[in-house]
Structure 1
């Protein structure tokens, strides 16, 4: 047996509830935390640093924190401890003043918070293997929660000010603690048999499971996904600030964020037939193509309706890339090493995201909305790596 979990009927709703809580936090943090930082009189450069440094922490510390979940043989218990620690530490932001104090608190929160999503994914992928569940059908509830949080927080910011973001965020963190207590147990059996070993991804048939962390096909898949995620650095840091400067209300900003995630929800809802048709490799390619289109078009001064339509590409720039990586890991990596695989992905994407976010403040100050076009380069590079990955896959298929 790969893992001893509660039964399939209770597994899905409990992990879905965790996704709802976690992505409610993300749905508040990504669009509106920069607005709260602005109410604390931070400059665009300082905002970029406050957002970037925790990403560097994620790249350096999260792999260790997530791998501890594999070693503990009970991912639920360690997830509860991390969630409670992040909740308590976030409360220090109510007392923090000035750039350095805010930065210090955000960093220590990130040490525990950033491990929660990969740990949740590791538990979910255990259910995918053991019960044959559809990861997309479970994960989409996190996206639904993200949309709801966008709209609710946006309405609150419109009715009040950006200062309301922190209290709402603190309440959402508390919900994460509760949902982590309700997660299914995940006691890992590290003595996997041949029957436990997942199938290799399409196009990578030569021993990928046995040598996953040394196989270039897996590593290139993680890199392509990380490039797609890093392309969002500008919009995560300065999308809301730009839209606010362009005259959009807080509610309109929330709806724009929600539009992108609704497209993601649709993709997750139909992920099984899409995966069957295109495979993880096709999803990664679609994500890279969408990255180029989305960020080349973003600097055009669109109306609200234009940006609403453009935001739908988020379903591919994030959703397709994420599904491509998750299913590559699910097919390629044994359960006992899933946390390590998630940690490796977080390391690669965290380094890239931290670097781009750190410089995005200066890019935004210098180029304004035109700076978003630089993000298209990540899609171009992703397509180059995808072509290399496909070439390596074909060689593997031809090898004896």
Structure 2
């Protein structure tokens, strides 16, 4: 690998790191920021829930606009800029309506950044031989750093510094994006792209409306969304079986550390496995993890289940991203990734909504439902294998 390719890989790693650093401030701590700004607890759910719906809807639309123009790095820069401006409005806002509007705008422009970054990274993998896993792992590292720093900040401020941390993340993301080179590819690939550009433009609506693509999204969303009960109720379950708060944090950290380790080595492993096999490995691990999760009675039983996070998330996500990239043309890669993110988001939200009533009935039920979801997604992909392979052969 040339020094230029290594430099490109470092910049893409930095892009992931900058975005997920800001997200590491946002995800755990932004509800506390809203509370500190005087938003009633009941209204916090409405603000964040409405923003989630807008994120799911906005991601494919804004990603498609970027794909159509072919200016992904400039789009990331502009979307980061607009999102940062919305955060400044949030800081200056006096009253919930304006704060809610600012959060909505910020979320809309935050939505396409990861799909666009994924598409740029996958293009670099294809044309420069870079390792996607080793670039993406820095996003996980930065997310953990944001969690740790945010946990300290939130104890010494009323939330303003959390928003400042999010602003730093957005500004850094925009600067890293605009510092990336324009996508380059071999001359033969460029000539082929020029000759087929019109055909790809015409084919784009058919790609994303095809039953094969939509069914694949449903199956992949079921597998990735099978983490819903974990994200929503695992900490409650840990406490229920007598695990202390400090050990709860340790258990979560174990999962993320294993995830980072898997991303570090998965690039080479993927040379010997198809994306579909990787997704199936993740789904199989999810079946084991969520079936056994409610049966674990202490922290020692939970540790190996947390280690499976490297398979249920990292391997499944890596496989899903590559899988979707193989179903669509490179021109519309970011749009394809945004549909994957939206499908996973919808099914994750639905899983969390259903998990609440199930947890009240019996704490085991939501986790067992997640095992069923992962299994259903896996069976669906197996049933469609022939049609999916034919679709991938067009662009793989």
Normalising by the residue count of structure 2, what TM-score does the alignment of the two structures yield? 0.78
The one-character-per-residue Cα deviations of 1:165-204 (angstroms, maximum 9, x if unpaired) are: 444434433332333332333489997618999xxxxxxx
- Worse overlay, 26-35 or 258-267: 26-35
Which position in structure 1 is the counterpart of 2:88? 91
Q: How far apart are 1:292 and its partner, in Å?
A: 2.7
1:387 equivalent in alignment to 2:382: yes
User: Counterparts of 1:221 and 1:143 in 2: how far apart (Å)?
Assistant: 26
What are structure 1's unaligned runs of at least 5 residues?
A: 1-5, 198-207
Which position in structure 2 is the counterpart of 1:174? 171
Q: How far apart are 1:69 and its partner, in Å?
A: 1.0
1:278 equivalent in alignment to 2:277: no
Distance change >3 Å, CA 257–CA 331, structure 1 → 2: same
Q: How far apart are 1:120 and its partner, in Å?
A: 0.6
The one-character-per-residue Cα deviations of 1:373-398 (angstroms, maximum 9, x if unpaired) are: 4333321221221221236568999x
User: Counterparts of 1:48 and 1:128 in 2: how far apart (Å)?
Assistant: 39
User: Counterparts of 1:369 and 1:349 in 2: how far apart (Å)?
Assistant: 22
Secondary structure, aligned partner of 2:180: coil
Q: How far apart are 1:20 and its partner, in Å?
A: 0.5
The one-character-per-residue Cα deviations of 1:113-140 (angstroms, maximum 9, x if unpaired) are: 0110001111111111211222112112
Which position in structure 1 is the counterpart of 2:149? 152
Aligned match for 2:336, one of 322, 332, 341: 341
1:225 equivalent in alignment to 2:207: no
User: Counterparts of 2:87 and 2:322 in 1: how far apart (Å)?
Assistant: 33
Which position in structure 1 is the counterpart of 2:199? none
Distance change >3 Å, CA 264–CA 369, structure 1 → 2: same
User: Counterparts of 2:87 and 2:67 in 1: how far apart (Å)?
Assistant: 26
User: Counterparts of 2:300 and 2:96 in 1: how far apart (Å)?
Assistant: 36
Q: How far apart are 1:30 and its partner, in Å?
A: 3.2
1:351 equivalent in alignment to 2:346: yes
Aligned residues: 378
Which position in structure 2 is the counterpart of 1:109? 106
1:60 equivalent in alignment to 2:57: yes
1:193 equivalent in alignment to 2:192: yes
1:320 equivalent in alignment to 2:315: yes
Which position in structure 2 is the counterpart of 1:17? 14
Q: CA RMSD in A?
A: 4.0
User: Counterparts of 2:291 and 2:59 in 1: how far apart (Å)?
Assistant: 32
More helix by share: 2
Contact 1:66 1:115 in 2 (8 A): yes
- Higher RCO structure (Cα 8 Å, ≥6 apart): 1
1:37-48 correspondence runs (5 A): 42-43=40-41, 48=45
Contact 2:14 2:176 in 1 (8 A): yes
User: Counterparts of 1:373 and 1:101 in 2: how far apart (Å)?
Assistant: 41
User: Counterparts of 1:99 and 1:369 in 2: how far apart (Å)?
Assistant: 38
Distance change >3 Å, CA 304–CA 387, structure 1 → 2: same
Q: How far apart are 1:95 and its partner, in Å?
A: 5.2
The one-character-per-residue Cα deviations of 1:29-83 (angstroms, maximum 9, x if unpaired) are: 334444555666754x755544443332222221110011112221111110100
User: Counterparts of 2:180 and 2:362 in 1: how far apart (Å)?
Assistant: 45
Contact 2:243 2:299 in 1 (8 A): no
Contact 1:151 1:255 in 2 (8 A): no
Aligned match for 1:291, one of 276, 286, 291: 286
Normalising by the residue count of structure 1, what TM-score does the alignment of the two structures yield? 0.77
What are structure 2's unaligned runs of at least 5 residues?
A: 197-202
User: Counterparts of 1:162 and 1:130 in 2: how far apart (Å)?
Assistant: 47
User: Counterparts of 2:117 and 2:283 in 1: how far apart (Å)?
Assistant: 25
Which position in structure 2 is the counterpart of 1:120? 117
